[in-house]
């Protein structure tokens, strides 16, 4: 009668630049069925040019694989999370060739060095170094995920998350 309307939450758009310097590769090209078939979530894959993982946004480290250091999950202030998985089957290296500069629970700042990894060591051990960056399925706050080429460098990509 008075025209009262229920307030709707304003959608939040989070643009996440590649956290790993390198060349963009279609997720479908990752030599692991779970990533390639997007069973774990939507995202991108990077063929690293440097052995560094850089924080793509201000947020926190939700989980770091403490012993192997091959994977890290980050959370943006919006609640959206991303998984950065360095290489395929690199958990088998048990942390050899990886250096973590953060730990689970740490607050991070965009541009901060999170992990370093030895590309040559990983490849010499027989593992692909291709690095998926995904938005894991099942996140309540994530409504839509898109991948777009960055305007500044078409070899890079941006993951766009709508929460």
Q: Is 101 a residue of the active site?
A: no
Per DSSP, the three-state class of 122 is helix
Whether 86 contacts 25, CB under 8 Å: no
Instruction: Name, in order, each residue with C-beta under 8 angstroms of 114's C-beta and a sequence gap of 6 or more.
Output: 19, 53, 54, 55, 61, 72, 74, 84, 100, 101, 102, 108
Whether 60 contacts 44, CB under 8 Å: no
Eight-class DSSP state of 90: G
**What positions carry a catalytic annotation?**
85
């Amino acid at each position: 009668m008075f025209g009262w309307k229920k307030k709707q939450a304003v959608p939040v758009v989070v643009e996440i630049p590649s956290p790993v310097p390198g060349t963009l590769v279609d997720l479908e090209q990752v030599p692991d069925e779970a990533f390639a078939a997007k069973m774990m979530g939507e995202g991108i894959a990077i063929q690293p040019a440097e052995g560094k993982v850089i924080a793509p946004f201000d947020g926190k480290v939700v989980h770091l694989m403490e012993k192997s250091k091959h994977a890290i999950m980050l959370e943006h202030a919006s609640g959206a999370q991303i998984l950065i998985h360095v290489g395929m089957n690199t958990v088998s290296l048990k942390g050899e060739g990886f250096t973590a500069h953060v730990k689970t629970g740490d607050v991070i700042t965009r541009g901060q060095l999170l992990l370093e990894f030895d590309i040559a060591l990983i490849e010499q051990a027989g593992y692909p170094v291709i690095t998926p960056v995904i938005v894991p399925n099942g996140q309540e706050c994530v409504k839509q995920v898109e991948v777009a080429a960055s305007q500044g460098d078409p070899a890079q990509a941006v993951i766009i998350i709508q929460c």
